[in-house]
Amino acid sequence: MGKKIDKILNDNPKIKTGKNIVVGLIGVECLSLVLPIFSETAREGVIYSNSFLSFFFMVLGVLTYVKITQNSIKENKIVAYFLSFFYAVCLVTGRELESVDNFDVTKISSYFYILFIGLFLAPFIHSIWNLIEQKREAENIRKKKSNLVRNTILLLLFWLPVFLAFYPGAFVYDAWDEYQQVAMGEYTTHHPLLHVLFLGKVVYYSKLFWNNANIGIAAYTIVQMIIMAIILSYSLEFAGKKWSKIEGMGILFYGLFPLFPMYAVCSSKDTLFTSFLLLTVVKIMKIYEKGWEKVEKKEIICFIISCTLMLLFRNNGVYAYFAWLILAFFIWYVASIRLKKKKEWNLILFCLPVIIYFLLSFILTNQLSAKKGGSQEIMTVPIQQMARVYKYAPETYTEEEKEILYEILPENELHLYTPRISDLLKSKFNNQAFRQDKLKYLSLWSKMGIRKPFIYLNAWLLTSYGYWYPDAVINVYGGMGRNTYTYEESSYFGFETEPPGKRESKFLWLEEQYRKISLELYQQKVPGISMLFSPGFLSWCYIFCMGFLIREKEWKKLIPLLLILLVWSTVLLGPTYLVRYVLILWFAVPVLVSMVITKEN
């Protein structure tokens, strides 16, 4: 049937043009209706629609669509259409979640939008991929003088004003809790013990010997800045050997884009985790390009160290790496059979970081007598789901089932449910009761899910859509108070220096600019620029580029990038959506660009 339709359209170009005009018109209209250009208020809602500008964009969009569909290449379109419809689903769903905190799966118009947005965007994706294919360069792999030291110093100089503006550093998020563990001598595995010791000890001894925690916070921040600068410079050197132009652009990107100095001076464990994750990805790329037998021993040792540290700094890194190992072994096994080559059992070396991680974790836990962390982190999505059912459909629970729910989530605490973050509610989770009879509570969770599957779906989507919806506003802490401020418009970054530290800014004007980026809709009001700060937009950039590599069948590049995608996947099951959980999306941009812009030799 499809071939017959194609033949009719090819034999009758006017019919084909008419079809393209219709799809283009409907696609533009559907796209405009799901983009956040309309306000909920009537007056603000017509600012864009009731103007010549909207008509101009409609005509431009339709004409462009008709033009690219007239001469589009037919082969290899399936990946582009799959990606387009997947994006359309996320766009429509995200718009509903952002505006009304709920996606109504029974709303027929949503599926109409998805259909025509998917049909409209697919040719654009395919055409951009074709353009990239035409502009690609051969890999520029050659030996050249190392710029690692120079680039590291440049990055530190770029970041120095921000360090002075934040002096002694942004001591935020889990920092106070980690410091308290050291100060009280009572450790838990809730936070990575290696980071607890690193951060907590430095600040604790600074407070003990000089009665000034700022010295310790500043010392930690400087060490972290150096580590981060070295790893970013190394990744640029790797990318620059493939595409020489990327190194200069990368230095400006890493040095001037606000997110990098912002997190270089932040005490959160996410900065070091992401740095070691990036180094691990780069080392895996080198190993896959050369093969284990050609990689120098120092490279293998560096990979094992960086991967082990990555695992030690965040638990979701462990889950992602386990999944990556399974996929990497499977892909390599299949490739070995198809190419009739001897299987590389040296791949077992990829397991060494996991073995070392478990050994070091066991030693640290026992030496510090650390108590096991609670189950609330693993149960964060089920907690949100059961609480949302209780709030919006309490009649779903029988009286007996309510009593079971109250055993792990006290009745007087269930009002703490907030759609976009589970922190308040999960802090009230009764871990002791849950450990005694896990099956009973998991059974309750599954029963509610069967009865109210769409409420469960929305409960999960609301804590994760910021990672895949480009226009999401990062304000999950809205209304919550901190030591020196209350989150209002945005909670893009923690910003402050919490006790026992104290902010002593040396550059007040620059500090104010970063305060606006962190707590106001500052950069998010600037068209185009706002997308560079969006985790949802960056996620789609990676998916778009990986879709292109799939089309080109460049599997050696895909396998290392798959680790980034898996880390991103783990945070979808987390307590909320925050920039700090997906920093790798920004850190690895130069490497991603160099992978896409160059062909394999």
- Contact between 151 and 237 under an 8 Å Cβ cutoff? The reply is yes
More confident call, 44 vs 523: 523
Alpha-carbon dihedral 409, 413, 416, 422, rounded to 10 degrees: -30
Section 121-138 average pLDDT: 84
Q: Is the pLDDT of residue 438 over 60?
A: yes
Kind plus residue range of the DSSP H or E element containing 598:
strand 598-599
For range 222-232, the mean pLDDT = 97
Residue 80 phi/psi, 5-degree rounding, is: -65, -45
The 3-state DSSP class for residue 371 equals: strand
pLDDT at residue 434 in the model:
92
User: How is residue 97 written in tokens?
Assistant: 């979640």
Q: Helix (H, G, I), strand (E, B), or coil: what is residue 211?
A: coil
Report pLDDT for 454.
96
Task: Provide the CA 164 distance to its chain's centre, in angstroms.
Answer: 28
DSSP 442: H
The whole-number pLDDT of residue 33 equals 75
pLDDT of residue 258: 96
Confidence at 1, pLDDT banded by 50, 70, 90: very low
User: Would you say residue 221 has pLDDT above 90?
Assistant: yes
Q: Is the pLDDT of residue 93 over 60?
A: yes
- pLDDT exceeds 50 at position 334: yes
Is the model more confident about 160 or about 555? 160
Q: Encoding tokens for residue 559?
A: 């396998």
Location of structure tokens 């093969």: 291
| CA-closest candidate to residue 267, choices 307, 219, 207 | 219
Query: Who wins on pLDDT, 39 or 428?
Result: 428
Pairwise pLDDT comparison (555 vs 411), residue with the higher score = 411
What confidence tier does 99 reach under pLDDT thresholds 50, 70, 90? Answer: confident
What are the Cα distances from residue 449, in Å, to 200, 381, 391, 456, 572?
41, 12, 14, 6, 18
CA distance 550 to 197: 42
Closest CA to 328 of 305, 354, 309: 354
For residues 247 and 256, give the distance between their C-alpha atoms in angstroms, rounded to a whole number.
Answer: 14
pLDDT at residue 393 tops 90: yes
pLDDT the model gives residue 509: 96
pLDDT higher than 50, residue 596? yes
Q: Is the Cβ–Cβ distance between 536 and 525 less than 8 Å?
A: no
The pLDDT of residue 337 is 57
Q: What is the pLDDT of residue 76?
A: 59
pLDDT, residue 441, reads 94
Question: Among all chains, which residue has been given the structure tokens 């800014």?
Answer: 505
| Neighbouring residues of 255: CB distance < 8 A, sequence distance ≥ 6 | 154, 155, 157, 158, 159, 261
d(Cα 346, Cα 358) in Å, to the nearest integer?
21
Among candidates 462, 467, 465, 536, which has minimal Cα distance to 102? 462
Reading phi first (left if > 0) and then psi (alpha if -120 to 50, else beta), residue 448 is in alpha
Helix (H) or strand (E) holding 137: strand 137-138
For the segment 32-72, what is each residue's pLDDT rounded down to a tens digit?
777 765 444 333 444 455 556 666 667 776 777 777 776 65
Q: Is the pLDDT of residue 583 over 50?
A: yes
Pair 521, 513: CB distance under 8 Å: no
pLDDT of the residue at 567: 96
Spatial separation of the C-alpha atoms in residues 138 and 77, rounded to whole Å: 24
Express as a percent the part of the chain with pLDDT over 70: 87
Task: pLDDT band for 499, please (50, 70, 90 cuts).
Answer: very high
The pLDDT value recorded for residue 215 is: 96
The b-or-e profile of 308-336 (16+ CB within 10 A means b, else e) is: bbbbbbbbbbbbbbebbbeebeeebeeee
Which residues face 170 on adjacent strands? 266
Lowest mean pLDDT among 125-129, 169-173, 465-469: 125-129
Residue 143 has a pLDDT of 56
Q: What is the pLDDT of residues 563-576, one digit of tens each?
A: 999 999 999 999 99
Indicate the pTM of the whole model: 0.91
CA distance 51 to 43: 13
Which of 234, 346, 247, 249 has the alpha carbon at shortest distance from 280? 234
Decide if pLDDT at 5 tops 50: no
Indicate the SS3 state at residue 486. strand
Quick one: pLDDT at residue 54?
67
Q: What's the confidence (pLDDT) of residue 198?
A: 95
SS3 of residue 191 by DSSP:
coil
Q: What is the pLDDT of residues 255-311, one digit of tens each?
A: 999 999 999 999 999 999 999 999 999 999 888 777 767 778 888 899 999 999 999
- Give the mean pLDDT of the chain: 87
Euclidean distance between CA atoms 428 and 408, whole angstroms: 8
| 3-class SS of residue 599 | strand
Give yes or no for a contact between 152 and 229, defined as CB atoms under 8 angstroms apart.
yes
pLDDT at 343: 52
Specify the range with the lowest mean pLDDT, choosing from 39-43, 74-78, 206-210, 476-480: 39-43
**Counting Cβ atoms within 10 Å, is residue 285 exposed (0-12), middle (13-18) or buried (19+)?**
buried
Given a contact cutoff of 8 angstroms between Cβ atoms, the answer to whether 493 and 169 are in contact is no
DSSP for residue 373: P
